[in-house]
Structure 1
Amino acid sequence: MPTRLKDVAARAGVSIKTVSNVVNGFVHVAPDTRARVQAAIDALGYVPNPAARRLRGGGSGVIALAVPDLRSPYFAELAGLIVRAAEWRGWTVLIEQTDGRDLGAGLRRHSIDGLILSPVGIDSTAVCADGLPTVLLGERTVDGPADHVAVDGAAAAADATRHLLRLGHRRVAAIGAPDHPSTVIRAQRLAGFCAALADSGFPADPALIVPVSGMHLADGAAAMAQLLDQAGQPPDAVFCFTDPLALGAIRTCAERGLDVPGDIAIIGFDGIEEGRFSTPSLSTIAPDTERIAQFAVDLLAERLGGGPAATAPPREICVDHRLVARESTLGRSY
């Protein structure tokens, strides 16, 4: 017979209600109790019954994940992690690619319980006003309209820039600056880049900041060519606002006969798996995507679970990032 809540409760020495609270991600459980229940779940192989949970909660058991572009390795990886976290709760995930378009009408065609949204180029206030429980992803904001799981984009960009400065680079360029006002994520990364340069006594040179319309390999390659073709001294290092931009920039350098990092050091932002296997391997800022996915699903579960969490003010969770230094800045001898 399948393992039941009462079996888990008996093994952990807690009530069935406590096990239910842990399974549903409610925060009001003591850490040691949560750990004991989770150990019992793992030991017994307990899997929530999605049909029973839908009957109890009256929901569809389907949530939506809306991201700007599934061609992006970062969003593809994040989507996989969110699907995995949702499956544990018995949820099905409907994935939408927004491409900057309004998705309100499209979502209403589906019977979904909640939404996880990366609102690049979208008015998230309008989406949240529709009444659908929503968790926003993206760079850190203040007083947002919904629960928000974020990375401090300005601080992360500053870390990348300081890494280049510590290696002795002084003409540091940026690829990926915003080309229109709504790109908040890129604006925050640009702010962190400029702040780190200013703090080190090397103000940003506007000629070395290249806006792009897209964030893909070809955009990075074209932006790097623009930097190399303009009059004046070329940069000795480049901070790219995504890893695909950085990989495209590395390709242009190779085509021009330039060594990375001997002639130009390059660092990206995303921590995608492809960066480990490029030549040279790519230095990057890696957000903790596993925690982003888990927090997003957990926050949505709390909103859908009723009780005080369902009506609490919007919460802001800032997830850690780390600097991963590889060959594209350190060279092959590191």
Structure 2
Amino acid sequence: MSKAKQIERILERRIRHGDYLLKELPAERELAEEIGVSRMTARKAVQFLVKKGLLQRQPNGRLVVSREAETRLLHVAFLVPSLVSSDVEQWRLALDRLAEKFNMVTRTILYVHWDDPVLLDAAEGLDGMFLIPNCEPMPDRIMERLRTAGRSLVILGQDMSTLGLPSINLFPAVVVQQLLDHLAELGHRHIDCFNVQTVDPVVRARIDQWNLWRASHRMAGRVLGEPIEPYEQPLMSAYKQMGKILDEGKLQGTGLLCLTAPAAIGAARAMADRNIQVGKDISVCVINDEGLARFMTPSLTSIETPDPTPYLSVCLDWLSGSNDQWVGSLLLEPSRLPLFVGSSTGPAPTSNLSAAKDRDHADTK
């Protein structure tokens, strides 16, 4: 493949992924220096893309994505907090799968805090936005700026429909009761709740559902764990916190509901390090497995992650249509989700964890 052809492919890929939605295209000289080719080679590649209709040259000589190419594409921002998450990847891949169907360019944009300038840059420069809120409450002024920017905004992973924003919530808090019903059927009567995540509306709603179910079924249980600060590492914190809880004998339940995947993974590792058999000595389950449940040892009982594609398609139909008015409920969420029963849950043991630890200690003598 010629060097000019390589540059053509690079630029086409960048245009397709929205790399130049919020910044200018580099000049031919800058492009040549970046890729390590002659300016003549860079110019040859650019001229081909101009002829193809993807680029056009302005009177001042600057290159821009052609208006014809821009008008036939739906430009969408995917705004995500600056942290690693399997959830974020699932949303991104679903949007990528829908790109061709909706003739869409999606640009993933990381933001660190609510006053990050990239949020408002995206609001001003694109056709629509899919936003995953971070753990901190969104200030009213930011909410108002995003709502009045003239761009359509969809919230992912939280319910902000009461604020007039279309929202997709794949894990409504009520699914907590599916997990708790499963543990109750196995004979568990004391089910603790473990959380290390910053208490945002999602975490709060899950704790409320656990409390509601526990009260209505007259079950024992306590909330365990200390919420971390935003952007701290939840997995390591879950491991350390559960280790301390176990060492101090504070885990009294035979069942443990974990509110997030890092909480469940960290807790299970801390238990394994202390010869506590998950699924036998204690049952552990989690609401959102982030696609990991089947691949863990032991496999983790969880609510399975639903396919976000149908819900995103509804929103993209709205974004790409000529009618600005949303039709129907602003909240899109499943009413019930599949339960994956892994080996991390089993019949309630006849003795509590302290007795199991004493037994194991005696067996090693």
C-alpha offsets along residues 106-146 of structure 1, whole Å, 9 cap, x if unaligned? Answer: 45168321101122335273332333211111244552332
Distance 1:227 1:162 in 2: 25
- Kept after mapping to 2: 8 A contact 1:154/1:193: no
Unaligned runs of 5+ in 2: 1-52, 55-66, 348-365
Give the secondary-structure state (helix, strand or coil) at the position aligned to 1:159: helix
Q: Which runs of 5+ in 1 are unaligned?
A: 1-49
Structure 2 match to 1:194: 211
**Do structure 1's residue 130 and structure 2's residue 142 form an aligned pair?**
no
Q: 2:332 aligns with which of 294, 298, 317?
A: 317
CA contact (8 A) 1:286 1:323 kept: yes
Q: 1:269 aligns with which of 279, 283, 287?
A: 287
Does the 8 Å CA contact 1:69/1:75 hold for their aligned counterparts? no
SS of the equivalent of 1:79 reads helix
Alignment partner, residue 303 of structure 2 = 285
Q: CA deviation at 1:60?
A: 5.3
Which amino acid counterpart does residue 91 of structure 1 have in structure 2?
Answer: M
- Matched residue of 2:192: which SS? strand
Shift of 1:221: 1.2
Aligned to 2:237: 219
Does 2:248 correspond to 1:230? yes
Which of the residues 65, 68, 90 maps onto 2:81? 68
Alpha-carbon distance between aligned partners in 1 of 2:196 and 2:263, rounded to the nearest angstrom: 11
Deviates more, 1:296-305 or 1:96-105: 96-105
Q: Letter of the 1:316 partner, please give it.
A: L
Higher relative contact order (CA 8 A, sep 6+): 1
C-alpha separation in 1, matches of 2:116 and 2:309:
21
TM-aligned CA deviation for residue 96 of structure 1: 2.1
The SS at the match of 2:285 is strand
Name the structure 2 match of 1:164: 183
Aligned alpha-carbon RMSD (Å): 3.0
Is contact 1:118–1:138 with CA below 8 Å preserved after alignment?
A: yes
Contact kept, 8 Å, 1:276 with 1:282, in 2: the verdict is: yes
Q: Give distance in 2, aligned partners of 1:131 and 1:82.
A: 22
Equivalent residue, structure 2, for 1:255: 273
Partner of 2:202: 185
Report the Cα distance in structure 2 between the residues aligned to 1:311 and 1:57, rounded to whole angstroms: 23
Alpha-carbon spacing, 1:70–1:95, altered in 2? closer, same or farther (3 Å): farther
C-alpha offsets along residues 212-237 of structure 1, whole Å, 9 cap, x if unaligned?
A: 44574223212322321335553322
Q: 1:140 to 1:221 in 2, by over 3 A?
A: same
Shift, 1:274, TM fit: 2.4
Q: Post-superposition shift, 1:302? A: 1.4
CA offset digits 1:25-69 (Å, max 9, x no partner): xxxxxxxxxxxxxxxxxxxxxxxxx98xx8498365321112235
**Aligned mates of 1:203, 1:234 — CA distance in 2:** 10
Q: Which has the larger radius of gyration?
A: 2
Alignment of 1:30-109 (within 5 A): 55=68, 58=71, 61-103=74-116, 105-108=118-121
What number of residue pairs does the alignment pair up? 274
TM (norm. structure 2) is 0.66
CA distance in 2, matches of 1:275, 1:233: 23
Pick closer, same or farther for the CA change 1:222–1:171 going to 2, 3 Å: farther
- What residue number does 2:194 align with? 175
Q: CA deviation at 1:151?
A: 3.5
Is contact 2:172–2:333 with CA below 8 Å preserved after alignment?
no
Structure 1 Cα separation of the partners of residues 225 and 220 of structure 2:
12
**Residue 318 of structure 1 aligns to which amino acid in structure 2?**
E
CA distance in 2, matches of 1:174, 1:306: 47
Residue 200 and residue 209 in structure 1: after superposition, are their counterparts in 2 closer, same or farther (change >3 A)? farther
Query: Would the aligned equivalents of 1:59 and 1:113 in 2 still touch at CA under 8 Å?
Result: no
CA offset digits 1:219-263 (Å, max 9, x no partner): 321232232133555332211112222111111111011100111
Residue number in structure 2 paired with 1:39: none
